[in-house]
Chain A
Amino acid sequence: METKNNLKAWFYLAPMLILMAVFTFYPLINAFIISFYKDYLPLANNGTGSISGYTLHNYVVIFKNQLFWKAILNTFVLAFVSVPVSIIVSLFISVSLKAIPKLKGFFQTVFFLPYVTNAIAVGMAFAVLFHKDYGLFNVVLGLFKITPIDWIGGTASWWAQMSALMVFTIWSSLAFKILVFTSGLENIDKQYYDAARIDSASKWTIFKRITVPLLSPLILYISITSLIGALKAYNSVIGLFGEKLGGQPYSMITIVAFVYKYRADFAFQGFYSYAASAAIILFFITLIFSVLQTMVSRSRVHY
């Protein structure tokens, strides 16, 4: 039975594995090797490229760049705050959606909008919202007689910029989460809820003891993929701040933005190696946290 399963399983996996081998694994391994090249010139020798040896120096260069550490800080703060917050918010929204008797369809469509709205439009809208002179946030602050804050401009503090970026990131990530949780909630057998009501459990207890555990496979999925996605944050920074990556140049740079900085000069001596090194570093960071997450969740996820 075991061996039969082994063979059969690989058949099921074959189409995916073949495609991934060519278009994902191969480039990845390539990138890994490239990160160790010395003086890499990708366009020499008619495209075969030329190197003068192997080295660890590319990684040293990355670590010595003061922007790299800023990128790490920004990315970590963004990821480790926005992911839990957005999960909690979307859970509440999904549960609320389930609880209301009418207008479900309307809300579901509205909450899905961020997924289909053009990213440039979203960035523009938020840039206006956070503008220090005429943005909505500062207008509201003014109503409460608080001095307006520069959120994303040239004099914005790191806290203000990070808060704005956080709001933007959470906003963009809600749609998918709500979608997954809403359909997941429909899966939960009504019997559990009926039983709980008979026991006159409070709404909070129901949530904590029934809803969350039964949703746990999906919560795990969302938390791992969201964390990975958040560690790769790039489009949100560009959308809110433009190519400058911050109110002051590079103030909100993330790890991926740092990697891409080398792309412009990539074809020439060594730059692609630097980009590859930075990407590999990101990979290891993400890997560590994903493994941690999986280990932690092992006991808590119920299928």
Chain B
Amino acid sequence: MSDIYVKNEKSYRAKKITFNVLTYLFLIAIAIAILIPFYWMLLTSMKSDELMRRIPPLLWLNPKEWQLSNYYRLFELVASGPRRGEPLFPFFTYMRNTVVISIITTAGTMITTVLSAFAFARLNFKGRDILFAILIGTMMIPGEIFILTNFLTINRMGWYDIMNQSYMDVIFAMTLPFMTSVFYIFYLRQTFKQIPNELYYAAKVDGTSNFQYLLKIMIPIALPTIITITILNSMGAWNAYIWPAMITTKDEFRLVSNGLRGAFTDTGTGRTDYGQQMASATLVTLPLLILFFTFRKQIMRGVSRSGIKG
């Protein structure tokens, strides 16, 4: 009897180790594939102008050849003229704007998303499925089609004024159109739907209102998803380019992406200084990485099971 167990255990162990090794190899292969462009971004940002133009491009730089001039140049100050002493690329202004817009948009989105996802997941009302289908439908139109009409709307509200645009105007114009997201409503709805009905009925028997149920039970249970959505949403402001470019009238209102996108392209030749652009992209990415790293555990955590006992 014991012989059989020993044999099974050994082969079981062997299988487990092989499985683990294979899994690790698989993951490492994927990780390398994922890392390549990121590595490329870093590498390019540290090449001098001359090395940049090499064909074939250099795939590796000795630490001695690392040139941080691209990074230094990003913090250069204007030498002369009316803007003397100001930074050439007002990073901090752009970052500040991006953070402000990001916070406001995310706050608004979270409110609309949680409320709407709750309604679609838990409440039974007439027209629920049709409305949901229509909302999914709105995801199917490419974003630029909206720009024309939204621009006219923003203008009609008085938030776009070439001479007198105030910071508040810009905030309204940049946040309101993006305070809803069918993409995240759908995600949260799926998560809410996975919370068992029994919980709901039990709460109802206890006399809890819908809203209390949402606040005290559903949100805590679905917190990882909610945190995920919050973080992903706030990252959206980093990459927003077209809309901010259209509705800002002054450089000091710009967001990070549109402030920097055309900044390194020479208008005469049409060529872009990729070294500088990658340096600025790296700098801009850092806060996002830090954000993700801080909240990683929360994002990856599962639904807490503490609400369900027995």
Q: How far is the CB of A88 from chain B (nearest CB, A)?
A: 13
Contacts of A87 in B (CB 8 A): none
Q: How far is the CB of A90 from chain B (nearest CB, A)?
A: 10
Measured CA separation A179–B34 after assembly (Å)? 14
Q: How far is the CB of B201 from chain A (nearest CB, A)?
A: 12
Measured CA separation A129–B37 after assembly (Å)? 9
Contacts of B34 in A (CB 8 A): 110-111, 113-114, 171, 174-175
Q: Of B35, B118, B299, which is within 8 A of A113 by CB? A: B35
Measured CA separation A2–B228 after assembly (Å)? 33
- Stretch of B61-69, B89-97, B124-132, B158-166 at the chain-chain interface: B124-132
- Whether the pair A28, B186 counts as a contact (CB closer than 8 A) is no
- Whether the pair A117, B142 counts as a contact (CB closer than 8 A) is no
Measured CA separation A136–B33 after assembly (Å)? 11
Q: How far is the CB of A215 from chain B (nearest CB, A)?
A: 10
Measured CA separation A113–B31 after assembly (Å)? 10
Nearest residue, chain B, Cβ from A188: B302
- Whether the pair A187, B115 counts as a contact (CB closer than 8 A) is no
- Whether the pair B142, A282 counts as a contact (CB closer than 8 A) is yes
- Whether the pair A15, B115 counts as a contact (CB closer than 8 A) is yes
Assess whether A80 is interfacial by the CB under 8 Å rule: no
Contacts of A259 in B (CB 8 A): 142, 144-145
Assess whether A55 is interfacial by the CB under 8 Å rule: no
- Whether the pair A110, B35 counts as a contact (CB closer than 8 A) is yes
Scan B28-42; emit 1 where CB is below 8 A from any A CB, else 0. Answer: 001101111111110
- Whether the pair B124, A5 counts as a contact (CB closer than 8 A) is yes
- Whether the pair B125, A121 counts as a contact (CB closer than 8 A) is no
Scan B49-88; emit 1 where CB is below 8 A from any A CB, else 0. Answer: 0000001110000000000000000000000000000000
Contacts of A217 in B (CB 8 A): 190-191, 193-194
Q: Of A171, A175, A186, A256, which is within 8 A of B142 by CB? A: A256
- Whether the pair A100, B119 counts as a contact (CB closer than 8 A) is no
What are the 3 closest A-B residue pairs judged by CB atoms, nearest first? A186-B302, A134-B56, A118-B281
Q: Of B26, B41, B123, B140, which is within 8 A of A8 by CB? A: B123
Q: How far is the CB of B51 from chain A (nearest CB, A)?
A: 14
Assess whether B14 is interfacial by the CB under 8 Å rule: no
Scan A250-271; emit 1 where CB is below 8 A from any B CB, else 0. Answer: 0000001001100100100000
Assess whether A192 is interfacial by the CB under 8 Å rule: no
Contacts of A228 in B (CB 8 A): 136, 139-140
> Which residues in chain A, 188-246, are within 8 Å of chain B measured between CB atoms?
188-189, 203, 217-218, 220-221, 224-225, 228, 231-232, 234
Contacts of A129 in B (CB 8 A): 36
Contacts of A9 in B (CB 8 A): 119, 123-125, 128
- Whether the pair A27, B111 counts as a contact (CB closer than 8 A) is no
> Which residues in chain B, 173-203, are within 8 Å of chain A measured between CB atoms?
176-177, 179-180, 183, 185-187, 190-191, 193-194
Contacts of A22 in B (CB 8 A): 153, 176
Measured CA separation A112–B141 after assembly (Å)? 27
Contacts of B285 in A (CB 8 A): 116-118
Can you sample 25 A-B contacts with CB below 8 Å? A5-B123, A5-B124, A9-B123, A22-B176, A23-B176, A24-B138, A47-B152, A97-B27, A103-B24, A116-B235, A116-B288, A125-B41, A126-B37, A136-B36, A180-B187, A180-B228, A183-B224, A183-B300, A186-B302, A224-B186, A225-B183, A272-B148, A283-B140, A287-B137, A303-B193
Scan B273-294; emit 1 where CB is below 8 A from any A CB, else 0. Answer: 0100110011011001100110
- Whether the pair B148, A183 counts as a contact (CB closer than 8 A) is no
- Whether the pair A183, B299 counts as a contact (CB closer than 8 A) is yes
Assess whether B212 is interfacial by the CB under 8 Å rule: no
Measured CA separation A275–B187 after assembly (Å)? 31
